[in-house]
Amino acid sequence: MCLGVPMQVKEICNSLVARAETMGITQLIRIDLVPQVSAGDSVVVHAGFAIEIIDPELAKHRLEFLARLLGDMGEDQEDAG
């Protein structure tokens, strides 16, 4: 299964690379596939590449879903131990 994670572009470093943040984690991402991206945009990142610019509200909802999913997975691990 593939998973794209919503991130917010904080800084465009050059035409190929940007600095992006999600859930307190900052990383460099490639922006080749979304050349129109700007600082402040929300993007879906898969395997280090921004693959789509998305609405900030949609990004927020997806992150909330991922947080709930990860929380549920953590609870399952605690129950197994």
| Model pLDDT for residues 6-15, shown as the tens digit of each residue | 999 999 999 9
CB 39 within 8 A of CB 79: no
Q: How far is the C-alpha of 43 from the C-alpha of 63, rounded, in Å?
A: 12
Give the type of residue at 33.
L
Measured torsion, CA atoms of residues 54, 60, 65, 71, in degrees rounded to the nearest 10: 130
User: What tens digit of pLDDT does each residue of 23-79 get?
Assistant: 999 999 999 999 999 999 999 999 999 999 999 999 999 999 989 988 877 665 555
d(CA 58, CA 41): 12
Of residues 5 and 73, the one with the higher pLDDT is 5
